[in-house]
Structure 1
Amino acid sequence: MVRLADITDLTEQISLTPLQALGIPIAIAGAVVLSLGTQFQHRGVSLVEGSSGASGAKLDLRQLGLLIRRPSWVVGTSMLGVAALMQLWALSLAPLIVVQPLGAVALVVTAVVNARVARHRLDAPTINSILFCLLGIGIFVTVAAVFAVEHPIRDQQLLTVLCLLLVVGIGLGLAWWRWRDRASAIFYVIAAGVLYGFVVTLMKVVLNRITTGNFEWLTIVCLLGVAGALAFGGYFVQLAHASGPPDLVIAGLTVVDPLVAVLIGVTVLGEAAQTPPWALIVFVLAGGLAVFGVFQLARHHPQLQAKTLVEDDE
């Protein structure tokens, strides 16, 4: 039987101070800015593609140069930077379990805004795909935040993460080079999400080392890894914009990114040492549900279906 004292103790554990509660609207506002910034970036890429006569995900150096002179793309990129700062601000105020799931708001906002801009209706399969993403990532991050335990990261663990990033980066680069003419939006979305997952993990390490005064050669290597992953992942994001709708791009960044970051924490950094077996099963099921939602969104999105019909007619 649940006693009133037990409920009171639980309430005291999950209650937020006014300063912590401020992180909630900041995180929501950051998600909205992320959504709108993605929409502007998508418009910039689409305009550059149209003006250069290119088709598909093929952004060369000339087109990249045109992007940085396109106002809509510059505005969108600036908004994404603001969104990242707002997310860091929110995380500094409120617990991860409160803030992180709110980033999925960007997926909903982007889907609605893009439907209005592109003048198409969100059909049932698309809405269900978005719900799968939201439900899966919400459960995954919540369980991870409850049971994850942070430990001081040893140099050997950090070197392992850096080596994994190198292997993953080379693998993705070779896969893109080999199949770049046939690569779809879902490939670029997942590739960018994987790389950004490493960025989150390494930035967490860098910030911790800077605040503790432990800034040495390995920290510099981490910063180089972050810069490389951001550049590589950013290019994949632009290719995803060139071959898919913005809500699919957001789905990859808000679903794959945290899944990869938590997976690194569990397998390499030992943050799941105190996690019960049932929670590990929930990890797998929730992560699978979220990724399934991304694939379903790529399969059923009205814009991608319309694009496929046009290509088939040609």
Structure 2
Amino acid sequence: MTVLAAGLALLGSLFFALGAALQQFEAASTPRAGLGHLVRRPRWLLGGLSIAGGTALHIVALRYGPLTLVQPMGVASLLFALPCAAALRRRRPRPGELASAAVIAIGLIGLVMVVPEHSGEPHLSTGEAVTLLAGAATAALVLWLLSRQVSPAARACLLAMGAGVLYGATATLTRVLVDGNWEFWFLLAVPMPALLALVLLQRAYAVGHFGVAFAALQVADPLTAVAFGALLLGEPLPTGAASTLIALAAAALTAAGTVALARTTPMSPSHDVIAR
């Protein structure tokens, strides 16, 4: 069952990476990156279906294997995404891109591995749910405002980080819906941060720096979910000297890899007007 879970998680990562590459290709290739325009493009919709398939496979993998095994496998999407995006543009991924992505993947795996498992039933009060949504929206707004004043690579990173924060909030709400006690309006609230995240992510993709945008998303999403889980759901954080050192080293690797990836050549020309 463990091997099956690992295989499903890896296959899900491949589908997720392919979908992200397809959506970035469309977002960066059109003068209009709004959702209303993109949803009419077949290749962008195919990317959405691929992402949905990858997500479904990841959920099924969690039924057959522990979170500590399945979650690190999801990081492989970062390594799959760059070759997929390069193939769409009919070029080979550069060694520097793959090396930077590998460093980020190792860092993310290290971070995931030191997060303790939590078997308690998650619960959010109405006030905590409002705090969750307001906090994520505020952070995403600040990142969006900052993105308007920086270089294209930094803009792609900040916009994708904003999307990651909103997806992290969505994941937190979803965890409560699946495993805990919740109120009916939570079900109505879940699509809001997810939709805003999708808009920000397409703007990040439109800038052209796919590698750094996808990496920033992969970093911000799980870290935000872990932070919200600890602050609002009472889930544990790493404790002890060894876990703390591993977490710090993993965070340093992740940051270094992201910075290195931001310095690589963009996948497509930057559309400053779109990104704004």
- TM-score range (shorter-chain normalised) is 0.7 to 0.9
Deviation of residue 112 (structure 1)? 1.5
- 1:179, 1:251 → 2: CA distance? 16
Distance 2:216 2:13 in 1: 14
Partner SS, residue 120 of structure 2? coil
Greater Cα offset, 253-262 or 195-204:
253-262
Distance (whole Å) between structure 1 residues aligned to residue 40 and residue 229 of structure 2: 39
- Superposition map of 1:36-75 within 5 A: 36-49=18-31, 59=33, 63-75=34-46
Following the alignment from structure 1 to structure 2, what is the Cα–Cα distance between the partners of residues 171 and 255? Answer: 15
What amino acid maps onto 2:20 in structure 1?
A: T
Query: Is residue 283 from structure 1 mapped to residue 240 from structure 2 by the alignment?
Result: no
After superposition, what is the alpha-carbon deviation per residue over 1:103-145, rounded to whole angstroms, capped at 9, x for unaligned?
A: 122111111222233344544542332122111111111111x
CA distance in 2, matches of 1:232, 1:252: 16
1:32 maps to what in 2?
14
* Change over 3 Å in CA distance of 1:85–1:297 after alignment to 2: same
Within 5 Å, give how 1:103-182 maps onto structure 2. Answer: 103-144=74-115, 147-156=116-125, 159-160=127-128, 162-173=130-141, 175-176=143-144, 180=148
Aligned residue number for residue 190 of structure 2: 226
With normalisation by structure 1, the TM-score equals 0.75
Closer, same or farther in 2 for the Cα pair 1:46/1:155, shift >3 Å? closer
- Distance in 1, Cα, partners of 2:143 & 2:21: 27
Amino acid at match of 1:303: P
Contact 1:191 1:233 in 2 (8 A): yes
Q: C-alpha distance in 2, partners of 1:179/1:33?
A: 29
Cα distance in 1 for partners of 2:145, 2:108 equals: 31
Which blocks of at least 5 consecutive residues in structure 1 are unaligned?
A: 1-17, 53-58, 309-314
Letter in 1 for 2:10: I
What is residue 67 of structure 2 aligned with on the other side? 96
C-alpha contact (below 8 Å) 1:136/1:289 kept by paired residues = yes
Residue 224 of structure 1 deviates from its aligned partner by 3.4
Rounded to whole Å, the distance in 2 between the matches of 1:268 and 1:164 is 8
* Alpha carbons of structure 1 residues 219 and 289: separation in structure 2 relative to 1, 3 Å: farther
Contact 2:24 2:205 in 1 (8 A): yes
Aligned twin of 1:15: none
Matching residue of 1:250: 214
Counterpart for residue 11 of structure 1: none
Normalising by structure 2, report the TM-score: 0.85
Would the alpha carbon gap of residues 219 and 85 (structure 1) be closer, same or farther in structure 2, given more than 3 Å must change? farther
Counterparts of 2:238 and 2:43 in 1: how far apart (Å)?
A: 47
- Gaps of at least 5 residues in structure 2 are 271-276
* Distance (Å, rounded) in 1 between the aligned partners of 2:207 and 2:177: 34
Equivalent position SS for 1:149: coil
Question: CA-atom RMSD, angstroms?
Answer: 2.8
Q: Quote how far apart the aligned CAs of 1:91 are.
A: 1.1
- The equivalent residue for 1:241 is 205
Q: Distance in 2 between matches of 1:270 and 1:280?
A: 19
In structure 2, what is the equivalent of residue 301 of structure 1?
264
Distance 1:175 1:294, change over 3 A: closer
Structure-2 residue corresponding to 1:197: 168
The answer to whether 1:76 aligns with 2:76 is no
State the 1:161 CA deviation: 5.2
CA distance 1:231–1:281, shift in 2 (3 Å): same
Please give the alpha-carbon distance, in whole angstroms, between the structure 2 residues aligned to 1:229 and 1:281: 33
2:141·2:162 contact (CA, 8 Å) conserved in 1?
no
Question: Structure 1 residues 285-294 or 128-137, which shifts more?
Answer: 285-294
- Please state how far the C-alpha of 1:270 moved relative to its aligned partner: 3.0
